[in-house]
Structure 1
């Protein structure tokens, strides 16, 4: 049964924590909420918005949010991560947003550190930190050769703050130390720039996850959009989030699908922002390229090879779309 606090919400909040979820694994979501409950920033200074993106498992009946003075559960009937995030944005109060997936366990000082950094660096529109994988089962030895991060990233122990505006920066490629979706922190002003661009753009809204699809270009679209709107980005290594990885996500079937869909959406994203380094290819060549790549990658030799081949197929199909 869903419990919510009857306390009167406090309007002057620092942070809006937004959890967008679709049929979450309750065991994981409980760990996510426990980590939020243990935050050093007292919960009277931040709100918690859980966006149920058309789930069918009725997980909300199992939640107890009575510990939080400013917690809400909302349902977004239009499927897709982008629509859930827009719902959270439109209903958020605070000037700083932290996007937390339903398998992201934040370090207990995550919100406090995020707020402190924001106050000291108002020019930064979006930032993040280290995302550390916590596997349900040990990955097979070949997994590490696939190059698939599964939403995890470690860019070292040095703080990085971009300086795009200082040299009349012109976007030419995707920035190496850009924040990822796992634990992404973004100012409301920066996200509004993205919101206004994609609100009525079906192609842009389709870049994010939807149901069981593994399309994964939305986070990158957010980053590129706000850079073009004159916001800086940053990497803060002291911000640490544990990313819970279930066993099915290290299976060959899952990784093949991810390689294919993520590569396809990546090319679409780069094209939209005018920074795709690859030329359009004729549609009639796609099948021939796939056959050639089949032998190039020697897909019969290992799971890694067949996963990389699926990624190449996604790239070919996207390059031919234009």
Structure 2
């Protein structure tokens, strides 16, 4: 595998966001080999043509640029195509609204080169708002992946335990090895304007099952564009629901890491304890609570419903993980 950084940009109707993202990439101060692999995930706004033309007119010769179309909806499908087309070992996931600092690519390359046991590397970001910063934003910033992923640079495998996808760096050799094992992601991430999520968290836990480390570096800084259309509490509700759904799927990985596997009886026992301890209070909060109390009550009832009805999904997912792990 050639040493270098392949910047993977997966985008759906990202025409209005991409110019600033590409401008920041063109300003990278790097001396390692770099390419941009843009994947248009079934856009309807001319995203790919816009990006191609922008880079042709404004890009730099030191960074190779290619683009592809993935007609199958779902960010994970777009990423898979991007990974397949990438020619370098280090795959840097740059969302179409991420503005990387000018040293990001070279720092990522150096960190990954320095430790072969790092499976995934991440940084941190600040929000940049199209209009006014909402008063509530800091309370719910984590749902927009706006946060530091560690208190200091270093190994966060047994601390945070996973990384968010924006700005994440992984190895193509690991991805190829997982394909050879027959690994298929249980989550497909976002489709179009839907808010399914969790593919980055899933991949973090997959790498941990293979024995690799999660690493955080404070030098990896970027800005995350916050359009006005997302700055409302209704969007926060949608994100929380999507995260809740993905967390149930991802729980099979955390259980596998702890070498635990739950039975249907275990599910029912946990449900019984939840009902006994909190049903009345959460019912009251769901009806008359504050915004946060209502959201926590929603999560309580989602989890309770899964314990009562979704054991077969849990068992199927656990068996799927076991099937490819046995080949490792």
TM-score, normalised to structure 2, is 0.79
- What corresponds to 1:40 in structure 2? 29
Identify if the C-alpha distance between structure 1 residues 146 and 71 changes in structure 2 by more than 3 Å, giving closer, same or farther: closer
Q: Structure 1 residues 142-151 or 111-120, which shifts more? A: 142-151
2:227 is matched with 246
Counterpart position of 1:184: 168
Aligned residues: CA RMSD: 3.1
CA contact 2:2–2:89 (8 Å) conserved in 1? no
Give the Å deviation of 1:73: 1.1
Tell me the residue number matched to 1:111. Answer: 105
TM-superposed CA distance for 1:176, in Å, is 0.8
User: Is 1:221 the counterpart of 2:202 in the alignment?
Assistant: yes
Q: Is the 8 A contact 1:132 1:241 kept in 2?
A: yes
Q: Tell me, yes or no, if the aligned pair for 2:197 and 2:246 is still in contact at 8 Å.
A: yes
Residue 7 (structure 1) aligns with = none
SS of the aligned residue for 2:68 comes to: strand
Deviation at 1:299, TM superposition (A): 5.0
Q: Is the 8 A contact 1:99 1:185 kept in 2?
A: yes
Q: Which residue of 2 aligns with 1:305?
A: 293
Distance 1:250 1:197 in 2: 41
Moved more, 250-259 or 189-198: 189-198
Match of 2:49 in 1: 61
For 1:152, the equivalent position in structure 2 comes to 146
Report SS of the residue matched to 1:65: helix
Aligned length: 295
2:267 corresponds, among 277, 280, 291, to 280
Once the two structures are TM-superposed, the CA of residue 302 in structure 1 deviates from its matched residue by 3.5
For residues 219 and 293 of structure 1, the distance between their equivalents in structure 2, rounded to whole angstroms, comes to 34
Partner Cα distance (2:105, 2:76) in 1: 23
Indicate how the Cα distance of structure 1 residues 177 and 27 shifts in structure 2: closer, same or farther if over 3 A, else same: same
Q: How far, CA to CA, are the matches of 1:45 and 1:281 in structure 2?
A: 54
Q: CA deviation at 1:281?
A: 4.2
Q: Distance in 1 between matches of 2:10 and 2:252?
A: 27
Q: Structure 1 314/65 Cα, relative in aligned 2: closer, same or farther at 3 Å?
A: farther
Farther-moved stretch of structure 1 (30-39 vs 210-219): 210-219
Separation (CA, whole Å) in 2 of partners of 1:112 and 1:242: 17
Separation of aligned partners in 2, 1:258 and 1:292 = 26
Q: Please, which runs of 5 or more residues in structure 2 have no aligned partner?
A: 312-328
1:157 to 1:257, Cα distance in 2 relative to 1, 3 A: closer
Q: Which residue of 1 aligns with 2:9?
A: 19
**1:235 and 2:216 are equivalent in the alignment:** yes
Is 2:86 aligned against 1:92?
A: yes
Q: Unaligned stretches of 5+ in structure 1?
A: 1-10, 165-173
Q: Which moved more, 1:109-118 or 1:246-255?
A: 246-255
Residue 29 of structure 2 aligns to a residue whose secondary structure is coil
In the superposition, relative to structure 1, how do residues 126 and 148 fare at CA in structure 2: closer, same or farther (>3 Å)? closer
Higher helix share: 2
Provide the residue aligned with 2:306 in structure 1: 318
Q: Cα offset for 1:124?
A: 1.0
Q: Aligned in 2, Cα 1:153/1:147: closer, same or farther, shift over 3 Å?
A: closer
Decide whether the 8 Å contact of 1:107 with 1:239 is kept in 2: yes
1:198 and 1:267 mapped to 2: Cα distance?
A: 22
Worse overlay, 215-224 or 150-159 = 150-159
Once the two structures are superposed, residues 262-298 of structure 1 have per-residue CA deviations (whole angstroms, 9 ceiling, x without a partner) of 112101111255259995249x99xx89985653435
Q: Which is worse superposed, 291-300 or 233-242?
A: 291-300
Task: Find the aligned partners of 1:238 and 1:296 in 2 and give their Cα distance.
Answer: 46
Return the match for 1:271 from 230, 252, 255.
252
